[in-house]
Amino acid sequence: MALKRKDLLGLRGLTREEIEEILTTAEKMKSILLSDVKKVSHLQGKSMVTLFYENSTRTRFSFEFAAKYLGAHTASVAVSSSSVAKGESLIDTGKTIQSMGVDVIVIRHPMSGAPHLLAKHVLASVINAGDGINEHPTQALLDMFTMKQKKGAIDGLKVAIIGDILHSRVARSNIWGLTTMGAEVRVAGPPTLMPPDIEKMGAKVFYRVEEAIRGADVVMGLRLQRERQQKGLLPSLREYMHLFGITEERIRLAKKDALIMHPGPVNRGVEISSDLVDGAQSVINEQVTNGVAIRMALLYLLTRRNHDAVH
Ligand code: CP
């Protein structure tokens, strides 16, 4: 098992076979993650650096734990106290990291396309941990892994993604990945937060949340990306919850056993009711666990392009 590509920059263009290979490998990685001794030597002698130009809890730490559980060396560049703060460019920063013998660079950046630029200039594998409003491929992979584990298959699922679609890299990666895997993707949110080209990606657009949720197998809330929003795109937060929030009443329109998902961090009572976050249908904490398994799988597959299969 191995991915033939050097980098994981997005789910756009990834084949169904590649996604299946990642999800199958993540199943094996999850059993390591859930074992008493979380330490194997699959990545012995390899090294990974996280380079985050934006804040993160889940993505950054799950990459660090994933690499450590597999036996790799890890380091984290604190952008604010590194030479980036002295004006060093992204390409120069990447080349500097690579010159220290690094095999994988995991990057989060506010500019769409930054990981693609870095990948062109370094021999190390580059993994996109979120670039602007473009993609967050490892989040969508962990979301799909969670759906597969809970529902048995992704093909044929009806997935409703609710909220700030315009600024959501999570929504875009999920649309690319889920449609490739045969799911029906519905998106709903305020018209001011709905990108005009979203239907071309294969999603069905709804402006009433109730219609998107009706009969859904999965309901996924999104964080309001207030740091990327211009003023005037939203009414008050209270009005937003009233019109577009995921509430107990709206969830009753979905299938009885529908999963409630959210990439986090959650604004409780704004995007989704606090009780639903902690309720029986919520798999939000499991998404976090699965994020470590997916990142273990990706690190393994990208660094083993010429090696044997995982046992
Ligand atoms: N879902 C997600 O990307 O969370 P973090 O910003 O905490 O990494």
List pLDDT tens digits, range 83-137.
Answer: 888 999 999 999 999 999 999 999 999 999 999 999 999 999 999 999 999 999 9
Rounded CA gap, 158 and 216, in Å?
5
H-assigned helices in the chain: 16-33, 58-69, 90-98, 114-121, 137-151, 169-180, 209-213, 237-244, 248-251, 274-278, 284-303
**Is 36 a residue whose pLDDT tops 50?**
yes
Query: Token pair of 220, please?
Result: 């996924």
pLDDT-derived band at 81, boundaries 50, 70, 90: confident
**Residue to mutate (ligand 1; options 50, 53, 54, 57; most atoms within 8 A of CB):** 57
Ligand 1 center to residue 236 CA distance, Å?
24
Distance between CA 132 and CA 228 in Å, rounded? 9
Among protein residues, the one whose CA lies closest to atom 6 of ligand 1: 56
pLDDT value at residue 309: 44
- pLDDT value of position 310: 43
Per-residue model confidence (pLDDT) at position 288: 98
195-206 pLDDT tens trace: 999 999 999 999
Sheet holding 73-78: strands in order across?
Answer: 73-78, 47-52, 104-109, 125-131
Rounded to an integer, what distance in angstroms lies between the CA atom of residue 69 and that of residue 29?
10
Spatial CA neighbour of 168 closest among 186, 194, 142: 194
**What is the reported pLDDT for 292?**
98
- Mean pLDDT value of segment 163-178: 96
pLDDT category of residue 1 using cuts at 50, 70 and 90 = low
Predicted confidence at residue 207, as pLDDT, reads 87
Residues 6+ apart with CB under 8 A from 237: 224, 270
Q: Say what the pTM is.
A: 0.95
d(Cα 241, Cα 168) in Å, to the nearest integer?
18
Q: What pLDDT does 131 receive?
A: 98
Residue 161 has pLDDT above 90, yes or no: yes
In a mutational test of the pocket of ligand 1, which residue from 50, 56, 172, 288 has the highest number of ligand atoms less than 8 Å from its CB?
56
User: What is the whole-number distance in angstroms between the Cα of residue 57 and the centre of ligand 1?
Assistant: 6
Rounded Cα distance between 211 and 253, Å, is 9
Cβ < 6 A, ligand 1 pocket:
56-59, 130, 139, 263-265
DSSP 85: G
Nearest one of 151, 154, 160 to 179, comparing CA atoms: 154
Q: Is the pLDDT of residue 2 over 80?
A: no
Of residues 240 and 212, the one with the higher pLDDT is 212
Range list of β-strands (E), 142-273: 158-162, 184-188, 204-206, 218-221, 259-261
